[in-house]
Amino acid sequence: MQEGAAAMATPRAGVMPKIETQAAAFLEAHPELDGRGVVIAVLDTGVDPAADGLQTTTDGKPKVIDVVDCTGDGDVDTSTEREATVDDEGFHRVEGVTSGVSLKLPKALEGRWANPTGAYHVGVKDAFTLFPSALAKRVAKKRREAFEAEGRRLLTLEQGKLSAFDTKHGCTQPAKAGGDVAGGLSPALRLERKELAARVAQLTARLAAYEDLGPKYHCLVWHDGARYRAVVDTSETGDLTTAAPLAPYCDEHEFSHFGDVDKLTYCVQVYDAGKLLSVVADCHPHGTHVATIAAGYYPDQPELNGVAPGAQVVSLKIGDNRLDAMETTHAVCRAVQYMMSHKVDLVNMSFGEAAGRANAGRFIKLVDELVYKHGTIFLSSAGNSGPALSTVGAPGATSSSIIGVGAYVTPAMMADMYSLRQTVPAIQYTWSSRGPAVDGHAGVSITAPGGAIASVPNWTLSRNQLMNGTSMSSPNAAGNVALLLSALKQKGVAYSPHTVRRALENTGKAVPGVETLALGTGVVQVLNALRHCEQYQTALDKDVRFDITIPSRENARGLYLREPHETRTAFEGVVMITPVYHEDACNTKRIAFNLNLAVSCAASWVHVPETLLLYHSGRGINIRVDCDTLPAGSSHYTEVVAIDEAHPEAGPVFRIPITVVRPAAGLTGGAAELTAVMPFEPGQIERRFLTVPEGATWCDVSLKALGDDPRRNIVVHALQLHPQLPFSAYNSEQYHFIGGAQDEAALQSFKVIGGGTLELTFAQFWSSLGRSTVEVKVEFHGIVADTGVPIANGPAAAAGVTLQGAYGYARVDVAAPLRQESVDVSCSLTGHLRGFHPKTAVVKALGERDLFPDARQLHELVLEYEFSAPEAGEVYLRVPLLNDLIYDAAVQSQMLMLVDAHKKVVGWSDAYPQKLKVGKGKHVARLQVCHDDIAVLEALKSALVLTVERVLEKSAAVSVTPYATRADLYHKGAEAKAAALAKGARRAIFLKAPTVKESLQKHLQPGDVLTGSMTLGKARQAGPVQAADRPGGYKLTYVPPPAVPEGPKAPEDKEDAAPVPEKKEERDAAEVASAEAALEKELRGLRIKHLKQLCDEKKYVAYEAAWDGMKPAAAAGFIRYDVEATNQVLSLLTARLSTLDGLPHREERLADIVAAADAVVTAVDAGALAAHYGTLLDPEDLAASRLRKKMDVQKAALLDALAKKAAACEAMLAGAADEAAARERFADAYAALRKWVDPAAGADHVDLYVKHCIAQGRPALALEKVSTQLAEAEVHMAADKLKKLHAARERLLGVLEWGVLEEAEAKATAARFPHGYPCF
């Protein structure tokens, strides 16, 4: 039992179901065949190896043998290499990757700290990218509470100081509003009180502005001579002397946790010779719960054991914390690559999504290789999207190589797990997904109990938790398969994924009342499956799988006839059956393969041959399906089965699933399509299939409870299928609580496709006890916008509604083909869309983690896109060519990282783009795409366009006005009013190109569009549910007209040519003088250039010698009336000043710096400069403009010299013999600078301003100024200037002795200005 865990009463069997699958009987009969020798890979959100039940197996081996992050969310770039130094106390020090961070190591580097090479790899990680979102909120709350407690203490002290001052000096609040509380004080005391008041105000402001960006953990990696070690500085102090170095988990099975508050377990992996550290932590309780169901072991409470307590677990994390535990294609593919390289017996994957194509995509191809080549058995959840048909998810129930698992619930589970007051017979969960897959594959293969109370990670602060779903049924089934494999291995019975699958499917137990498309072949029966494997271990088909395809239907794996045109007549076609051996199998086996099969089908409406002699090259059989004889409005499922005539009792060798849906013909007379009274019991399902009338755009379904029954939970699930779209595209599922004393009708509206088949499924939720009677009414509606009607002398509109600003308007013809409808046109543009091509596109090989066993190397394509947000707000980032595909995606990654101008991460996005909050200014979007074929990536370099859609604020949304006639467009006529449109009638609507506000117009560029929607239906007034915008509206796109061109550009500013003398002698003399002046200018320029080249640390001695020789020439160059000559020499003087100021041991040259600054100041005619800037510049005076540019050079040199002089004078204060004189010298230098610039304005001189204020005893007033600057800082301010402002604020907070705020500022600054991009 886990230390400190509370004693738990003995739970009942239904808490961890094993009886239903024969697992309990199996373990009782074979206690040592409990999963021993079997390794289960759990592809999930990560497994906490410290969680209860996950420490050891029944035979004392480690339970969790490897923990791997396949997502990359825990990756730390440790490619920066450092060497340790020894400090004055004898401790070893390693400089961190962040400037100013020093990591303290033990004095003796031995044992785990041994480092023969002396090389250390350093990196840094944001903790909140590792913490699950719920945990991050909890930790942030605790950190805020501690921060606020210290803040209150400091505020009390500062308020006390102010109060004491006021009491001492008799400062009272004036009776008259606006009076001065310090009116009677001397100037010095007034300033003192102002500083005290500023302390209170600034402390209050900084406490209110607190933003916790989370801990930043510095990481250290080294090689101890035997293996890599790593330390994560979870203390955030840099002191690692008491830290315990961790080895990669696979080496020593070590783990730790970040702290007592979070209790989040982590471990490490090291890749690429120490250049990449992976900090692995789970991102959701789901993965630990799943692992415990499959293989948990509680030696002190065996009744809590998972199904296979003797099995071992490999945790492969595919849930990405950056995406709130969503899986990515890259993660699931990387997990398969790991399993290819590290032998695992069995896989459980309780993840999945809807997919538009079945059994297709890069991930599916890799899984096929894993199963068919490497012999790994793969189970996955079928999905939780039922009860409608064809809701099975990818990959579990849509892929041939994966065993898809459905979920059911038994009376024991209802009583023990859910604590229901009464139970009902075993039944499939209402939400368990149903088959078939879109290509006719059966979908669900087997079923297992779909709930459990099992362990969860320690960070949840709970020992265990109830979860249900096919996510729970899949590991239950996987645990049963682990028992089976454990027995087969120990008994020496050969097996393959095919024999195990057939054993499971041919021994499954039927559940009365549950349809095959939900249940699959039945509930797992592990004892029976073991007997099947033992009995038929020498069968001819034991090493063979059978590919079933229907060539006439794009090689579909089953027959699925659903749409009206498919079921009007009988289907007749050929089904191909191809035996497939392992690629390494002996050809003799292929040649010898002959299997006599008896073929049959239980359905009278399916006709098949009776026998089939199957050989290795495959055979086709002709089948006929009499669809037209089946009842309309319902679904029909059957299977063609093939039995080995030598072993008929073994069950089917293969199955050909056949599903026929015959929709009832839709009504066209305006009446309700369906009115029915349906009686229900818990879990009961009623299905209706209707042909959606052409012209229908939405459907209304209303429910009303009949009788006096209490409230019941009734689900309405509507679904249509559309080619290469996931079922979720036209899927509407809602749960309605109806009945009871105040019963009201429930209304559900959803979009439909005219002419297609609509499934309407009604069900009473399985745990909604008691009977009910429900009246159902279904109505189709349609308001159709014909957007292809050409407007006069203009083009026809494209799909949707496109409003061309250049044309000024668009015509839309609206019709009501089904019934009279109330038409109320509403148009709004709510998005600003712009497309971007990548600025850079680089392909490179990834590291050892992405190398396949056959030496295939994964490569990445990283593309960078730049865009600027005109204001803070929300955006959608999309890569249309890649988005919305995961399991059926052709490439391995589409991770998108959005950072601001300082490389701080703004957000992450992947297959399903989410809204991201952005600040004003420049952003960079970095897209990673991966594949092992470089040619694929090269082809994508120019094909991947990024679209950025900015969500407009409500105040900025653009309204598009509809008018009834064209004349109304320009005569300011009335808007088109809501009106009834008779069945079959048409109405023209004219949309006027909108006037875009200047605040938006100024940001529009050629190619931009505004996006929004046009809705046509009016809200239905009856019933409690008001659907204000009916489904079936249209996307509205507005293409703004070309911008008004700018006026002609001003002529280029060129030097005025000197007048040409009339006389030849004068012209010759002028030419000679000009040539001499040009020569002198060139020589002076060369001398200055030579000196500037010597202006660096290495050449400084030569520079000083050359400078001494140049002094007379430099003095001669100070020609007051020759501004250009002065500027040339100034460039030399400023170069010398900058060199002196930047040399090592600056403190030894402070006097030289002051002298060099004085030389610059002397070289500038300050009076002339002041006079020049004291007059306004005439923008039309080109000569004056040229002079201003040259004077700007002198002003910049003067300001730089004054600032450097003041800084040097301030530095002289330390250790000055005459402190008063040194302070006066600094004050004079600072005053000289203030004559030209306010040091408190901007970041250029903020250091001096802060030092001056500290010297004057006014740090709080300085803090006020600095904080105001930061609040008003331009978003385009350079990072170095922003850093200076933040550094100034941090220093002031330290001077004020507000340590908690100083620390918070330092951490926030480090977070705002990361050293580089994070890893993908």
Residue 471 a catalytic site member: yes
Give the relative orientation of helices 1182-1211 and 1219-1234 as an angle to the nearest 10 degrees: 160
Distance CA 1123, CA 62 (A): 81
What are the structure tokens assigned to 600, written together? 């049959």
**Cβ–Cβ < 8 Å for 455, 52:** yes
**Cβ–Cβ < 8 Å for 186, 221:** no
Nearest to 716 by CA among 386, 962, 1097, 1205: 386
Distance CA 152, CA 164 (A): 18
774, exposed or middle or buried, with CB in 10 Å at 0-12, 13-18, 19+? buried
Taking phi over 0 as left and psi of -120 to 50 as alpha, with beta for the rest, 29 belongs to alpha
Number of Cβ within a 10 Å radius of residue 342: 16
Helix (H, G, I), strand (E, B) or coil at 964: coil
Distance CA 1171, CA 1174 (A): 5
For residue 318, what is the enclosing H or E element?
A: none
Tokens 């004693």 locate to 7
**Cβ–Cβ < 8 Å for 404, 521:** no
Distance CA 1172, CA 1236 (A): 13
Distance CA 220, CA 1227 (A): 46
Nearest to 880 by CA among 957, 933, 949: 949
What are all long-range contacts of 143-152, with beta carbons under 8 Å and residues at least 24 apart?
Answer: 143/212, 144/210, 144/212, 147/210, 147/212, 147/1300, 147/1304, 148/207, 148/210, 150/1300, 151/203, 151/207, 151/210, 151/1300, 151/1301
Residue 888 a catalytic site member: no
Mind giving me the DSSP string for 1010-1060? Answer: EEEEEEEEPPP-SSS---SS-SS-EEEEEEPPPPPPPPPPPPP--PPPPPP
3-state percent breakdown (helix, strand, coil) of the chain, nearest 5: 30, 25, 40
Spatial neighbors of 987 by CB under 8 A, at least 6 apart, are 813, 814, 815, 823, 979, 981
Nearest to 473 by CA among 565, 403, 390: 403
Distance CA 1168, CA 1122 (A): 12
Nearest to 1298 by CA among 215, 234, 204: 204
* 3-state SS record for 601-616: ECCCCEECCCEEEEEC
Q: Cα dist. 1068→745, 871, 1062, 1065, 1080 in Å? A: 105, 62, 11, 5, 18
Instruction: Choose the catalytic residue: 92, 121, 218, 286.
Output: 286
Nearest to 773 by CA among 713, 676, 707, 714: 707
**Cβ–Cβ < 8 Å for 447, 453:** no
Q: 9: which DSSP letter?
A: P
Instruction: Choose the catalytic residue: 315, 385, 390, 471.
Output: 471
Q: 199: which DSSP letter?
A: H
Strands (E), 685-771: 685-691, 698-706, 712-719, 731-738, 746-751, 757-764
Q: 433: which DSSP letter?
A: -
> One-letter amino acid identity for 751?
K
Residue 44 a catalytic site member: yes
The sign of the torsion formed by the CA atoms of 600, 604, 606, 607 equals: positive
Distance CA 141, CA 517 (A): 47
Which residues are annotated as catalytic?
A: 44, 286, 471
